[in-house]
Amino acid sequence: MSYPPGLLLERVVLNQNRFRIPGVAPDPRGAVLGQRGALLFPSIDRVVGFFRVYSDENSIDDLLSSLSIRKVRTSLGTHEFVVWFNSTSSYVMDKAAAITKLLGGFAFTGTSRHFVKYRDAASPLGYDVAELEPEGGDIALYHDTFRQVYWTEREIEFGDLLFRLSPHRVPKSTVRMPETVLVLARPGLGPFTQGYLVRSRVTAEVALVERPAASAFDEGPERLFLFRAHEVPERIIDLLCATPGLEVFDPLGDNFGVELCFRHPINLESCASVFASDRLYLFAGRRDRVEILENLPPFTDLRRITRLQVDLGRADPARLKALPPRSDPVGLKVRLVTTTAPWKHVTATVVPIAQAEWLRKMIYVLPPRVLSSFRVFVGEERIVLVSQEGVESVPLGTYYYPFGSQIFLPAGYTLLPAASPQVLLDALGGSPGTLFFFEPGGQAPLALREPDFAPLARRSLLDVASVPSPAAARSTGDTSGPRHLVHDSLGLFPLWGVPGKKLPKKTE
């Protein structure tokens, strides 16, 4: 039965309580709302677009418990898609309806089979129907321009839709480098990647995982190395991404991640409940595949399993003969080189003697607590300030950070080869009470004795001369004899004649 467009729906008025659509009622805001919402889209790409936009600012996890995606057929044989979910409030429906309208779809509200057009600007409280469709079909939708009955052909799981979508590449300039990355390596590249990360002093763990066989013709599960690296420099990440056989992933959650420089069409953080907790999901963009790894073993620190060259055989006396230092084939000079690592806690600064006047002026404005924490060494060419609380309050000289307890390196530099502080201190022959400063461009480190350091607050004060001042003698008063109090008449000028008061001039 056909109806004129104006007679398909009726606008709901305020305080209306009776409706022809079953299962709808006014919500606390007065809008007509059913138990479920239905979104009608002409194609599957519009459905993906809806979840893509909705997930940017809202959580899909709130809808997953009741979410249903169905491919439906009309009486004319055309196909469309309906998204069902529980409409907990009109606020949720308002967001969904706005996105659906943007993508060329329609929003409806209802409970079981009959769904009426959701409210819009023309009818802020919603709509009701003039007459219900007769029985037939799985769902009946009522709009102000049409009414249609649909039959369900098949239901699409949201997880299946999510895993079938391909991540798309994004410009590298827009990619935020994560603090932690996952690196999936083929069997032949695992040991080499492990050694490279250890030599680069990258904190990482490794686990051996298995990729299930794709078909019965495969030899069996393929073993892969899965690395979890922390605070990896960008240059190392670029090298790993450019190496064939290695894939670098950005872990967006505890058990899912997307290949670096790729982005999934749907915000995966908003639908984290789709991913099973006992599996790891890795979306590989270049291969357009989702790696689902099951039965993950615990990660192990790389430094604990790095191969060591140890000979447990009998010692050969001929091989134990030490070579002189000049002909030692493995002898290396310690070099001071720049590093891209961020500055550490700087506790010393070396100020040229030419800036001594600037330092004196700064001492006047230092707070007492800061001034008391500094120790100073004054040499012929330089002044060295040391403070365990940091020396950033003195913007002079070259900053140094401690490398161990007695060695100081300039900020922005490191030593090669990367020996431990104790090994380097033994090579310097340092004894307790000596501080070593490696200066940029210097031939040898500067050795300073700790007793030569003095508190800056005391070292900055010159000797203050004091002038003794004797105490005044106590006055004992006039002891010539007793004094008598005399009472006299006041007269015309009673106070005149008092010591210090001038007498009036005599008139002739």
Return the half-sphere exposure (C-beta side, CA atoms, 13 A cut-off) of residue 34.
Answer: 26
In angstroms, the Cα distances linking 94 to 27, 32, 183, 253, 481 are 13, 12, 42, 29, 111
Question: Which pLDDT does position 498 carry in this prediction?
Answer: 61
Under DSSP, the state recorded for 89 is -
Q: Please give the single-letter amino acid code of residue 434.
A: T
Structure tokens, 261: 């420089």
Residues 6+ apart with CB under 8 A from 309: none
Whole-angstrom distance, CA of residue 350 vs CA of residue 440: 11
Residue 241 β-bridge partners = none
Whole-angstrom distance, CA of residue 54 vs CA of residue 50: 6
Whole-angstrom distance, CA of residue 365 vs CA of residue 367: 6
Whole-angstrom distance, CA of residue 407 vs CA of residue 392: 19
pLDDT (tens place) for every residue of the chain, 508 residues total = 444 444 578 898 888 888 889 889 999 888 999 999 999 999 999 999 999 999 998 999 999 989 999 999 998 899 999 999 999 899 999 999 999 999 999 999 998 889 999 999 999 999 999 888 777 789 999 998 888 999 999 999 999 999 999 999 999 888 888 999 999 999 889 888 988 898 888 899 999 988 877 666 666 678 899 999 999 999 999 999 999 999 999 999 889 999 999 999 999 999 999 999 889 999 999 989 999 988 888 898 887 876 544 444 454 444 434 445 454 454 567 888 888 777 778 999 999 999 989 888 888 888 888 888 999 999 888 999 999 888 888 889 999 999 888 999 999 888 887 788 888 888 887 778 889 999 888 878 888 988 889 898 887 766 545 567 676 666 555 556 666 666 667 777 666 666 655 656 665 5
Structure tokens, 284: 């590989």
Whole-angstrom distance, CA of residue 152 vs CA of residue 80: 10
* Contact in structure between 226 and 184 (CB atoms under 8 Å): yes
Please say whether the dihedral angle defined by the alpha carbons of residues 239, 240, 244 and 248, taken in this order, is positive or negative.
negative
Question: Which pLDDT does position 216 carry in this prediction?
Answer: 64
Q: What is the CA radius of gyration of the chain?
A: 43
For the whole model, what pTM was predicted? Answer: 0.59
Question: Which pLDDT does position 505 carry in this prediction?
Answer: 63
Question: Which pLDDT does position 6 carry in this prediction?
Answer: 47
Which H or E run includes 34?
strand 32-34
Question: Which pLDDT does position 3 carry in this prediction?
Answer: 47
Residue 11 β-bridge partners = 127
CA-angle at 169, arms to 163 and 173, nearest 5°: 135
Question: Which pLDDT does position 463 carry in this prediction?
Answer: 52
Residue 299 β-bridge partners = none
Give 78-81 contacts, CB < 8 A, sequence gap 24+. Answer: 79/153, 80/40, 80/41, 80/42, 80/43, 80/150, 81/40, 81/41, 81/42, 81/43, 81/44, 81/46, 81/47
Under DSSP, the state recorded for 440 is T
Residue 149 β-bridge partners = 140
Whole-angstrom distance, CA of residue 263 vs CA of residue 241: 15
Structure tokens, 439: 């200066």
